[in-house]
Structure 1
Amino acid sequence: MTGPLVVVGDALLDIDVDGAAERLCPEAPVPVVDVGREWQRPGGAGLAALLAARSAREVVLVTALGADESGERVAGLLAGEVELCALPLEGETPRKTRIRAAGQSVVRLDHGGGRARHDPLPARVISLLREASTILVADYGRGVAGHPEIRRLLAQARVPVVWDPHPHGGRPVPGARLVTPNESEAAKFAGEHGAPDGLARALRERWGAPVAVTTGSRGAVLATDAGTTTIPVPDAARVPASVRPDTCGAGDRFASAAAAALFDGVRLEEAVGVAVESAARFVAAGAATAVSRPVDRTGPAAGADAFELAARVRRRGGRLVATGGCFDLLHTGHVKLLQQARSLGDALVVCLNSDSSVRALKGPARPVTPAADRKRVLEALEAVDAVAVFDETSPAPLLGRLAPDVWVKGGDYTEADLPEAAVVRRHGGDIVLVPTVEGYSTTRILEGVHNG
């Protein structure tokens, strides 16, 4: 197969506004949220396409966007990662804003009721749907997947079609390779409550297609002609029970990972297993917030004292996250780690090895960048709230004072590799290992320079 993975569906703009709620409004018993940061990302089919691009070499999104600021922002957030093939939208591009405090959603504001116009399809869309190697449909009921000509082309497709249904969307086309409702959606579609395996069987019979009902931390149940199979989350990908995960976008990650696996020629049950693990790791890494981009920063000032910050976070009932390392020659892998770590709580402290500490760990030629400069660069990043420098080879003494709720390290470690883990656990904290970005390390960069 040589064609792209094509995502079809309704895109929108997702906004998270993070802040602190320490008092009630005098006019009504509702919290007053002091806004700290704003983050934006593509939502709906836009998020599914962005996540599919993590696993597939070529992804094209067919969606409808309005000629407005939100539509332009969605297009900008996808640029460079996903090819966009936009259809006309009647009305305003949908926008959803979550207001959050201490990691909990307070309210969601929805704007824009735009719907895709059912004009004749451009030749480019027709050729994409005919030449795709795999098609993922993210149907949020705003008209893209309901376009009569698109439905006809999807029904005629000779390649795997993965259909991620939502309550306001339409029925999957006959012949879909996989349909991926979550447990609550499956109950609504089936018109009954029951165990996931029963729901999966009922929907498989109704839709005439294999159905994978996702069940959160329990994995998924796959129903095919051969029967039902429960596919659990691998132990290595589980989120600690004491962590309050944000699961926003987990369904999009499941569907996009399943589609990408089928795109690579993986058999169905194995593709669902890949999707279960991918969704679990996505949640552990911060879910949709980890792929969001900051818009504004009015939270803790850069350069804030780490211990004062920790005390302030605890006073308001927040969650303190810490991570650590040398951060010598800051690169993409570092930035992704910091963004994912910050998404796991309300403030992030970076524990930074001093120059003498780096020399003890890396040798006399390191660090390349002095601690003062490394600290200054880290403090300038949106994800970082404070930096604390330590002289020891292990951050354990510093962590004993900070007592973070979460200690984050890259997935190239195991908990057994972390001598500081015992200190974090002793204070009631959790250890979270997030996936690393393959191909990025300071040592590798320096070797390339010396060998170049």
Structure 2
Amino acid sequence: MKIVVVGDVLLDTDITGSAQRLSPDAPVPVVDVDSIRKRAGGAGLVARMLAREGLDVALVTVLSEDGAAADLRGALTGITVTAGPSGAPTPVKTRIRADAQAVVRFDEGCSPPPAPAVTPEMLSVLSGADAVVVADYGRGLTGNPELRSALEALAGRVPVVWDPHPAGADPVPGVAAVTPNLPEALSSGGGGGTGGIPAALHAAEVLLGRWRSRSVVVTLGSLGALVLPADGLPQVIPAQEVPAGDACGAGDRFAATLALALARGTALEPAAEQAVQAAAGFLAAGGVAALHREKAPVQLHSGSLDALSAARTVRERGGTVVATGGCFDLLHAGHARTLSAARRLGDCLIVVLNSDSSVRRLKGEQRPIIGQADRAELLLSLGCVDGVLVFEEDTPEAALERLRPDIWVKGGDYREDQLPEARLIKAWGGETVTVPYHPARSTTALAAALARVG
């Protein structure tokens, strides 16, 4: 599968360090620099994200001939880049972070340049695309008439996802989805204000008519996304809760995942759900600050990134991480009492959940009755559960090694010699405890009763 990314590139420079004192010259923090990293931003970031997943990615853009452009080309190594002349200096955005907190950003050469020309080589790359992401950063490329004509023709054959910019051109008609964030949607849709779902929906309706796209998908930050198809009802897709941080790159991650899902034949709403989850996972894994890693973050089961992130946040605040585990097939009152009791022992409760294949090996081919995604969702709906970490093995040791809870909780029907993981918990100073067991409440008994009813 070939994904073509079209749009404006810029150079992002991340300067990171620690700030332990104020300058004697002015009341500003002094940042002791630990590292300086340069990476591709804009459409280059989208291309890099897709390439990290092992996809065949081509980038169509324009580049200058200055030193920053040379750095950009180095940051895009491994990606097929077809670039025409930009006719302007390379835009550079420099972010300074101290102790993971953004301090300031400097922008250079970011004023809108003259509209660049498009070469025949750039247009020829589009012909082999299975999907296209247009990452418009307002530098004039998407306003080129020849490029627009080619993209409009392509939109009738393959999914085209257009990530717009307030200073950019309108999307061409017929694209599969346009993905403005909420401020962009309100500004372009004439709604103004701070928004909310009703305002977002009104703006999306206006933009759907203006842009003549097949859908408008408004990203709502921590609220998720609003999907408005041209031929259906609007749908709000909630986002997983992740710690607040630098949201840079989350919109790029969303657009890239949406295009890939649509290219694989996924319908719009589930594709948008995948994109929301991917954006949340991207932020939970550290966002753009973690992009220097050689490999892409490990793909975890739904909820796993939230579980690890929730535990890390609690631990950083000096809190106590509690975990419990099991199959939790057919939730019943005994489960609810155990989970509630476990949560009261600390500041967050993570459930380490057997996957479907793990349950089958332990319980037989007729189990689980409920699949792991639904079991995780039911657990997360309980107010006492802060995260779910799914594991594939027969025992939870590997998952616990990653989570490293302070307290491991099991029901009182277990003896210490039945909990081989207790020794592992002690290895990092954790403790294993039991909470009261409630007899006559079990999944097996409940399943048998349901079978008699059936």
Q: Distance in 1 between matches of 2:109 and 2:391?
A: 39
- The share of aligned pairs that are identical, in percent, is 43
1:29–1:271 distance in 2 versus 1, CA, 3 Å: same
1:27 is paired with a residue whose SS is: coil
Structure-to-structure mapping, 1:36-435, within 5 angstroms:
36-55=34-53, 57-80=55-78, 82-113=79-110, 121-157=118-154, 158=156, 159-192=158-191, 193=193, 194=195, 195=197, 196-209=200-213, 210-225=215-230, 226-233=232-239, 238-240=240-242, 243-292=243-292, 417-418=399-400, 421-423=404-406
Asked if the contact 1:93/1:114 (under 8 Å) is kept, the reply is no
The Cα of 1:123 is off from its aligned counterpart by: 2.6
The Cα of 1:156 is off from its aligned counterpart by: 2.0
CA distances 1:393-431 after superposition (whole Å, capped 9, x unpaired): xxxxxxxxxxxxxxxx998798994176432899xxxxx
Structure ID, larger Rg:
2
Q: Distance in 1 between matches of 2:7 and 2:116?
A: 16
Q: Distance in 1 between matches of 2:121 and 2:216?
A: 30
Structure 2 unmatched runs, 5+: 317-388, 410-454
Q: Distance in 1 between matches of 2:253 and 2:67?
A: 26
1:13–1:119 distance in 2 versus 1, CA, 3 Å: closer
1:252–1:54 distance in 2 versus 1, CA, 3 Å: same
The Cα of 1:75 is off from its aligned counterpart by: 1.4
Structure 1 unmatched runs, 5+: 295-331, 349-408, 427-452
Aligned residue pair count: 315
1:424–1:77 distance in 2 versus 1, CA, 3 Å: farther
The match for 2:437 is none
TM value normalised by structure 2:
0.62
Mean CA deviation greater in 193-202 or 279-288? 193-202
Asked if the contact 2:13/2:95 (under 8 Å) is kept, the reply is yes
1:246–1:146 distance in 2 versus 1, CA, 3 Å: same
Q: Distance in 1 between matches of 2:19 and 2:116?
A: 47
Asked if the contact 2:204/2:228 (under 8 Å) is kept, the reply is yes
1:216–1:198 distance in 2 versus 1, CA, 3 Å: same
Amino acid at match of 1:213: V
Q: Distance in 2 between matches of 1:20 and 1:184?
A: 32
Q: RCO higher in 1 or 2 (8 Å CA, sep ≥ 6)?
A: 1
Amino acid at match of 2:190: G
Asked if the contact 2:83/2:122 (under 8 Å) is kept, the reply is no
CA distances 1:297-352 after superposition (whole Å, capped 9, x unpaired): xxxxxxxxxxxxxxxxxxxxxxxxxxxxxxxxxxx689999xx999x99xx9xxxx
Asked if the contact 2:115/2:139 (under 8 Å) is kept, the reply is no
The match for 2:382 is none
Q: Distance in 1 between matches of 2:212 and 2:296?
A: 43
Q: Distance in 2 between matches of 1:180 and 1:261?
A: 14
Q: Distance in 1 between matches of 2:169 and 2:390?
A: 41
TM value normalised by structure 1:
0.62
The match for 2:446 is none
